[in-house]
Amino acid sequence: MAQKATAKKSSLADDPRVTQALQSYEAGLRALQEHKFEKAKPLFQKVIGSASRELADRAAVHLNTCNQHLERSATTQFKSVEEHFDYTVSLMNVGDYVTAREHLDKLLKQSPQTDFVVYGLAALDCLTGHVEDSLKRLDEALRMNPSLRFQARNDSDFQNLAEDPRFTELLYPDPAADGSSPEGSFREDESY
The secondary structure of the chain, three-state, reads: CHHHHHHHHHHHHHCHHHHHHHHHHHHHHHHHHCCCHHHHHHHHHHHHCCCCHHHHHHHHHHHHHHHHHHHHHHHCCCCCHHHHHHHHHHHHHCCCHHHHHHHHHHHHHHCCCCHHHHHHHHHHHHHCCCHHHHHHHHHHHHHHCCCHHHHHHCCHHHHHHCCCHHHHHHHCCCHHHHCCCHHHHCCCCCCC
Q: How confident is the model at residue 36 (pLDDT cuts 50, 70, 90)?
A: confident
Show me where the domains of the chain are located.
2-75, 81-173
Superfamily of domain 81-173: Tetratricopeptide repeat domain (1.25.40.10)
Average pLDDT, whole number, for the chain? 82
**Calpha distance 111→114 (Å, rounded):** 6
Question: pLDDT at position 75, please?
Answer: 57
Q: How confident is the model at residue 148 (pLDDT cuts 50, 70, 90)?
A: very high
Question: pLDDT at position 182, please?
Answer: 43
Question: pLDDT at position 186, please?
Answer: 39
Q: How many CA atoms lie within 13 A of 61 on its CB side?
A: 6
Q: How confident is the model at residue 46 (pLDDT cuts 50, 70, 90)?
A: confident
Any idea which of 67-76, 105-114, 134-143 has the lowest mean pLDDT? 67-76
Q: How confident is the model at residue 117 (pLDDT cuts 50, 70, 90)?
A: very high
- Mean pLDDT score, 145-161: 94
168: pLDDT strictly greater than 90? yes
Provide φ and ψ at 78, rounded to 5°: -115, 145
Q: How many CA atoms lie within 13 A of 79 on its CB side?
A: 0
Question: pLDDT at position 184, please?
Answer: 40
